[in-house]
Amino acid sequence: MRSSSLPLPLALTARLSPVAVLAVAGWALASGPFAATPAESHDERQQTGTQSASAPSTSAASKTYAAAPAPCASLAGKTITSLVPGAKKAGKEIRSTDSKVRRTCSWNALKGYDYRWLDVSFEITESDEVAQKSYKENVTEKSGGGAVPGLGDSAYSVVNLTTEDKQQTREGTVVVRASNALVVVTYNGSDFESKKAPSTDEINKGAIKAAKEAVAALEDGQ
């Protein structure tokens, strides 16, 4: 008979640490300091003052997303219930040094012996070019997967199986670039009774489903 009072294995205890969550996310915002604007002469201010006040900069005009959406509100309640049985729908947002450009929410639960963990992260970069570079770096680090058609401007999915102390854990990651934004979903699971992991298909489909909803939330401005 299953019981939720089973002591958690060492691997699970480590996963529950906020530090480990941030390590899994593994993101670094690539942005440089803004260059100082040279001072104008009195005549130059008279000639260009009206135009400068009314015309936005090229970089600002091309920046599709200015802020990260609320990550814990990016998924439907039924999706959370389905992917992470027993988890609180509200999730837990992970603290960020700059919540305007980088936000992450996590859901995790141990129901009986079945464990599931889900992360949804948003990162807003300064331009499409910066986001594309970061996307390529993420995909290169997570080799062995494949493209996900019809999701954002480009999307990639990969699933890996790890074993520690004879306990299997299968983890899926989906990385999406949508204009100047990056969306990363991490979804994994284990069964601590059988010591087996969920199937590749289950984890991959779950991660992609969450990624689609997260991108929709980004586009809706939630």
- 178-190 pLDDT tens trace: 999 999 999 999 9
Nearest to 84 by CA among 212, 222, 206: 206
Listed residue (102, 82, 80, 100) closest to 91, CA to CA: 80
Q: What is the mean pLDDT of residues 167-172?
A: 98
This prediction has a pTM of: 0.73
Compute the distance between CA of residue 164 and CA of residue 76 in angstroms, rounded to an integer.
Answer: 32
Q: Which residue has the higher pLDDT, 118 or 142?
A: 118
In the prediction, which pLDDT does 96 show?
Answer: 85
The tokens describing 147, both together, are 């493209």
Q: Which residue has the higher pLDDT, 106 or 140?
A: 106
pLDDT band, very low/low/confident/very high, at 222 (cuts 50, 70, 90): low
pLDDT at 192: 96
Across residues 60-74, what is the average pLDDT?
A: 85
CA distances to 17, 68, 77, 157 from 111, rounded to whole Å, are 19, 31, 17, 26
The pLDDT score that the predictor gives to residue 25 is 38
Structure confidence by residue, pLDDT tens digits, 115-131? 999 999 999 999 999 99
- What residues does 187 pair with on adjacent strands? 118, 172
Q: Between 34 and 40, whose confidence is greater?
A: 40
Q: Is 218 helix (H, G, I), strand (E, B) or coil?
A: helix
Residue 61 scores a pLDDT above 80: no
List, in order, residues 6 or more apart from 3 with CB less than 8 Å away: 112
- Tell me the pairing of strands 114-124 and 102-111: antiparallel
pLDDT band, very low/low/confident/very high, at 87 (cuts 50, 70, 90): very high
Kindly state the tokens that stand for 161.
């199986």
Rounded to a whole number, what is the distance in angstroms from the first to the last CA of the chain? 43
Is residue 71 a contact partner of residue 184, using CB atoms and an 8 Å limit? no
